[in-house]
Amino acid sequence: MTDIRKGKRVKNSRSTVQRNTYKLDKLFEQFKEVKKAEGIAYSTIGQYDENFAYFVDYLDRADIPHDIRKINEDVLRSYVIYMREEIVRYEGHKYKPEAEQTEGLAPSTINTRLKTLRVMFNCLIEKGLIRSNPALGVKNVSEPEEAICVLDADELRQLLSSPNQRQFADFRDYVLMNFLLDCMTRISEALNLKVSDFNLKDHLVTIPASIAKNGKFRILPMSQSTTKLIGELIRENKEDFDSEYVFLANYGEPMSRDHFRKRLNMFAKRAGIKKNVHPHLFRHTAATMFLENGGDMRHLQLLLGHSDLRMVLRYTHLSGKSLAKQHAAYSGINQVIGKHNKPRKIKR
């Protein structure tokens, strides 16, 4: 009897299962499950989703299959070139004028999107789901170290005087601006805070690990004036809304970052401020003022919630006033010239 199996390939593994192991979308979902189990903040997971969607969109435009075997250094370098030279920044954005919708993303934006891919590939390697990291030889785009814009005290006063506190939405924005300036939280952290996160009696607010960017909780002090404003907003919310969140839109749902950004632009125009006023500007401004007023860098690190002190060092070059004060106090020339040789005041 002839063996009909002779010379034919024997099928042992399921081809559909094998194909799934190479699907980029499937691998991304597995990566997210790992990160969720590690307790990564929901906002960070959201950033992973957003940055992965940008990459997938590029693959579709370039007609590259969503197959991990097709992703290599050349593909990723082409993606970088696409982001630098072809993609239109803010394309279709409702609140951005055409003048700002320019070709090419900012280097920091490109590097942020690359970071998501690196983190994903490294995670998949650790879990044995892929064998090599296609992003290993792809370097970040160099970022020019430009001075970060901050607001001065007069501009802050003008901005804070802009909202009409008789209106609920304006009052809520006024409270949020005060809170951001006082506690130096990220806007994503502030908008996800609940009533239970505030200890008004002891002037404290807890940033839960679930909303903190680095996945670590921290407890921050609040000034008496900020505590009073938060308490007033909580009572105002209770009058009409049944929500555990503190910063609410005027229909009772948690406020979005884009909504607040749009309203900040309105207040800035009303106050005659020419600078680009955005939510994160309060964090930059508060950190700079903290250093200028003699604050300790280690304490600033704890307030900002940075795991690495190097992240705080960027604020040192912002604080020119603080640098001049330290130089005047500790410059070696003081010991050389002595008091009698210092310039003297003769005339007015």
The pLDDT score that the predictor gives to residue 16 is: 39
Which residue range is the domain that position 62 belongs to? 18-126
Whether residue 339 is contained in a domain is answered as no
Q: Is 315's pLDDT higher than 80?
A: no
Q: Is residue 86 part of a domain?
A: yes
pLDDT of residue 15: 42
Q: Residue 9: is its pLDDT beyond 70?
A: no
The CATH number assigned to the domain holding 95 equals 1.10.150
pLDDT over 70 (residue 109):
yes
Find the radius of gyration of the CA atoms of the chain: 26
d(CA 152, CA 289): 9
Residue scoring higher pLDDT (229 or 43) = 229
Residues 201 and 113 in one domain: no
Look up residue 63 and give its two tokens: 């007609």
Residue 13 has pLDDT above 60, yes or no: no
Q: What is the pLDDT of residue 87?
A: 80
CATH number at residue 275: 1.10.443.10
Residues 24 and 117 in one domain: yes
Last residue of a domain, one of 82, 111, 126: 126
Is residue 24, in this structure, part of any structural domain at all?
yes
Which pLDDT score is estimated for 307? 76
The verdict on 190 and 297 lying in the same domain is: yes
Residue type, 180: L
pLDDT at 300: 86
Q: How far is CA 311 from its chain centroid? A: 13
What is the rounded average pLDDT of the residues 92-108?
64
In a domain, residue 147? The reply is: no
Per-residue pLDDT at 162 exceeds 80: yes
Same domain, 248 and 106: no
- At 243-287, the pLDDT tens digits run 999 999 989 999 999 999 999 999 999 999 999 899 999 998 998
Domain annotation covers residue 231: yes
- 162, 82: one domain: no
* Domain shared by 229 and 116, yes or no: no
Q: Could you count the other beta carbons within 10 Å of the beta carbon of residue 275?
A: 13
Q: Is the confidence at residue 206, as pLDDT, over 60? A: yes
Q: Give the residue-averaged pLDDT of 3-14.
A: 55
Q: Do residue 79 and residue 190 come from a single domain?
A: no
What pLDDT score does 323 carry? 62
Give the chain's domain count: 2
> What is residue 229's predicted lDDT score, i.e. its pLDDT?
97
Do 312 and 170 reside in the same domain of the chain? yes
Reported as a pLDDT band with limits 50, 70 and 90, residue 214 is: confident
Computed over every residue of the chain, the mean pLDDT equals 85
Same domain? 62 vs 207:
no
170 and 109 in a common domain: no
Does position 177 have pLDDT exceeding 90, yes or no?
yes
5 pLDDT above the threshold of 80: no
215 phi-psi bin (left φ>0, alpha ψ -120 to 50, beta other): left
User: 141 in a domain, yes or no?
Assistant: no
